[in-house]
């Protein structure tokens, strides 16, 4: 199937909801960008202005170092407001990135597709037949854990097809 041969990763741009916090911007629109091996530049071109508009680009690029946690103006030292702001922005970007990745590749359907592709592409190469079969069995068990049960006939057909005519 074409989805398995050319999988695209659906990555949702950071969607920031209105919050009482003065550090969270209000972004009203959802932007879905299909990131694949062939469209990285387009994806980057569309996502960069969003990150820049909400003052997150410096965090993504690592250009803004974390300020000191404590100020030395008062004695004893107190929590630096710049540090608190930086941490909130950093965690907001990080949580959106993790959410987008989980949505893109963490779903059971994506896991099943990737594991099935891994099984179909498994080659014996220089490994022993025992090692090859253990690898195939491991992938089959992972597929079962992800909710896709292969029949013994389907599993055997894939394994023997991958081994080639010499077996």
Q: Which two tokens stand for residue 12?
A: 């949702």
Upper half-sphere CA count for residue 97 (Cβ side, 13 Å): 11
- How high is the pLDDT of residue 2? 41
CB 63 within 8 Å of CB 55 = no
CB 59 within 8 Å of CB 34 = no
- How high is the pLDDT of residue 153? 93
pTM (two decimals): 0.46
Sign of the CA dihedral running 35, 148, 99, 32 = positive
| Extents of the domains making up the chain | 33-106, 109-162
Q: Judging by DSSP bridges, how do beta strands 32-35 and 9-12 pair with one another?
A: antiparallel
- How high is the pLDDT of residue 166? 79
| Nearest alpha-carbon partner for 115 in 1, 4, 37, 3 | 4
Q: Name the stretches of the chain with pLDDT < 70.
A: 1-37, 73-75, 98-107
Separation CA 121–CA 158 (nearest Å): 9
- How high is the pLDDT of residue 74? 60
- How high is the pLDDT of residue 131? 92
């Amino acid at each position: 199937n074409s989805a398995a041969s050319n999988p695209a990763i659906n990555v949702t741009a950071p969607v920031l909801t209105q919050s009482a916090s003065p550090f969270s911007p209000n972004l009203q629109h959802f932007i879905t960008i299909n990131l694949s091996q062939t469209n990285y530049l387009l994806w980057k071109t569309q996502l960069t202005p969003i990150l820049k508009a909400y003052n997150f680009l410096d965090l993504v690029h690592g250009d803004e170092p974390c300020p000191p946690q404590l100020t030395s103006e008062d004695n004893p030292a107190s929590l630096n407001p710049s540090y608190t702001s930086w941490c909130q922005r950093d965690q907001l970007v990080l949580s959106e990135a993790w959410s987008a990745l989980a949505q893109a590749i963490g779903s059971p359907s994506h896991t099943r597709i990737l594991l099935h592709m891994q099984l179909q592409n498994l080659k014996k190469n220089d490994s022993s037949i025992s090692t090859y079969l253990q690898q195939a069995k491991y992938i089959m068990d992972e597929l079962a854990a992800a909710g896709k049960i292969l029949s013994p006939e389907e599993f055997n057909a894939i394994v023997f097809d991958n081994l080639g005519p010499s077996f």
